[in-house]
Chains A and B, each alone.
Chain A
Amino acid sequence: MKRLLACFLLTVLSAPAATYYVTIAGLGGEPDYEQHFEMWASDIEKVLKASGGEAKIETLKGPAATRFAIGALLEKIAGEATAQDVLVLMLIGHGTYDGVEYKINLPGPDLSATDLAKLLDKVHASRQLVVNMTSASGGSIEALKHSNRVLITATKAGSEKNATVFTRYWLEALRDPAADTDKNDTISALEAFRYAQQKTANFYETQKRLATEHALLEDTGAGTGVRTPSADNGNGLRAAAFPLLRLGSMQAAASNPEKRKLLDKKEDLEQQIDKLKYEKAAIPAAEYKRSLEALLLELAKTQEELDK
Chain B
Amino acid sequence: MCAALAAQAQTLERAEALRKAHNYEEANNAFRALVKANPKNAEYRVRWGRLFLERFNRADAASLFQEALAIQKDNAGALLGLALVAADSYESRAVELAEKALASDPKLVEARELLARLALEDSDPKKAIEEADKALAISPRAFDAMAIHGTVDWLDGKNDSPWFDKILAADAHYGQGYALAGHISVLNRRYEEGIQFYRKAVEVQPDLWSARSQLGVTLMRLGEETEAREQLAECYANHFRDDITTNTLTLIDSYKNFIIDKSGNIVLKLHKKEADLLRPYFESELKRALATYEKKYKLQLTRPVQLEVYPDHEDFAVRTMGMPGLGGVLGVTFGYVVAMDSPSGRPPGSFHWASTMWHELSHVYVLAATNHRAPRWFTEGMAVYEETAVSPEWGDRLDPHTLSAIKNKKLLPVAELDRGFVRPTYPEQVVVSYFQAGRICGYIAKRWGYDKLLAMMHDFATEASTPAVIRKELGMEPADFDRDFLATIDAETHKIIEGFDEWRTQVKAAVALSHAGKHQEVIERTTPIRDVYPEFVEQGNVYELRAEAFVALNNKAAATTELEGYAKAGGRDPAALKKLATLLEEAGRPVDAAKALDRITYIYPMDPEVHQHLGTLWLDQGNREGAIREFTAALASKPIDLAASHYNLARAYRSADRPADAKEQLVLALEAAPGFRPAQRMLLELSR
Contacts and interface: CB of A to CB of B under 8 A. Distances in A.
A303 B673 CA distance: 13
A198 interface: yes
Given A198-B640, A297-B683, A304-B681, A182 B347 contact: no
Nearest to A272: B674
A74 interface: no
A304 B640 contact: no
Contacts of A277: 671
B680 A182 contact: no
A195 B640 CA distance: 6
A185 B673 CA distance: 11
Contacts of B676: 183
Contacts of A303: 675, 677, 680
A7 interface: no
Nearest to A269: B674
B287 interface: no
A299 B680 contact: yes
Interface residues of A, number: 29
B354 interface: no
A269 B680 CA distance: 14
- The secondary structure that dominates the A interface is helix
Nearest to A185: B675
Interface stretch (A20-28, A104-112, A125-133, A288-296): A288-296
B114 interface: no
Contacts of A181: 640-643, 672-673
A270 B674 contact: yes
A184 B680 CA distance: 12
B597 interface: no
B667 A292 contact: yes
B643 A296 contact: no
B606 interface: yes
A33 B641 CA distance: 30
Interface residues of B, number: 25
Nearest to A303: B680
Nearest to B670: A296
Interface in A183-201: 183-185, 194-195, 198-199
Interface in B637-685: 639-644, 667, 670-677, 679-681, 683-684
A178 B680 contact: no
A296 B347 CA distance: 42
- Residue from the set A185, A277, A300 with the largest chain B CB neighbour count within 10 Å: A300
A207 interface: yes
B640 A194 contact: yes
Contacts, number: 71
Interface in A268-305: 269-270, 273, 277, 289, 292-293, 296-297, 299-301, 303-304
A89 to B, nearest CB: 24
A300 B681 contact: yes
A296 B681 CA distance: 11
Given A277-B671, A293-B667, A300 B643 contact: no
B667 A273 contact: no
A299 B670 CA distance: 10
A187 to B, nearest CB: 12
B675 A270 contact: yes
A179 B640 contact: yes
- The secondary structure that dominates the B interface is helix
Nearest to A182: B673
B687 interface: yes
Given A206-B606, A299-B680, A184 B675 contact: yes
Interface in A86-110: none
Contacts of B675: 182-185, 270, 299, 303
A277 B674 CA distance: 11
A308 interface: no
A301 B684 contact: yes
B674 A296 contact: yes
A217 to B, nearest CB: 16
B262 interface: no
B684 A304 contact: yes
Given A183-B673, A206-B606, A277-B671, A297 B687 contact: yes
Contact of A296 (B346, B644, B683): B683
Nearest to A307: B677
A304 B683 CA distance: 11
A206 B607 CA distance: 10
Contacts of A198: 640
A260 B639 CA distance: 35
B683 A273 contact: no
Contacts of B643: 181-183
Contact of A273 (B640, B674, B677, B680): B674
A184 B643 CA distance: 12
A64 to B, nearest CB: 26
B467 interface: no
Interface in A247-275: 269-270, 273
Contacts of B324: none
B640 A178 contact: yes
A210 B152 CA distance: 49
Contacts of B670: 296, 299-300
Contacts of B679: 183
Nearest to A197: B640
Given A296-B683, A301-B684, A304-B680, A184 B673 contact: yes
A217 B19 CA distance: 58
A178 B644 contact: yes
A277 B680 CA distance: 18
B348 interface: yes
A301 B680 CA distance: 8
Interface in B209-226: none
B346 A208 contact: yes
A268 to B, nearest CB: 12
B679 to A, nearest CB: 8
A181 B642 CA distance: 7
Nearest to B671: A292
A179 B348 CA distance: 24
A264 B606 CA distance: 42
Contacts of B677: 183, 303, 307
Nearest to B684: A300
- Residue from the set A181, A198, A269, A299 with the largest chain B CB neighbour count within 10 Å: A181
A153 to B, nearest CB: 20
A293 B669 CA distance: 11
Contacts of A194: 640
A289 B667 contact: yes
A178 B646 CA distance: 13
Given A195-B640, A304-B684, A182 B672 contact: yes
Contact of A299 (B347, B606, B640, B674): B674
Nearest to B683: A300
A208 B347 contact: yes
Contacts of A269: 674
A207 B344 CA distance: 10
Contacts of B684: 297, 300-301, 304
14 contacts: A178-B639, A179-B641, A182-B673, A183-B675, A183-B677, A269-B674, A297-B687, A299-B670, A299-B674, A300-B681, A301-B684, A304-B681, A304-B684, A307-B677
Per CB-CB distance, the 5 closest pairs between chain A and chain B, nearest first, are A178-B641, A300-B680, A183-B673, A183-B676, A182-B673
Given A183-B676, A206-B347, A293-B667, 8 more contacts: A178-B639, A178-B640, A178-B641, A182-B643, A182-B674, A296-B674, A299-B674, A303-B677
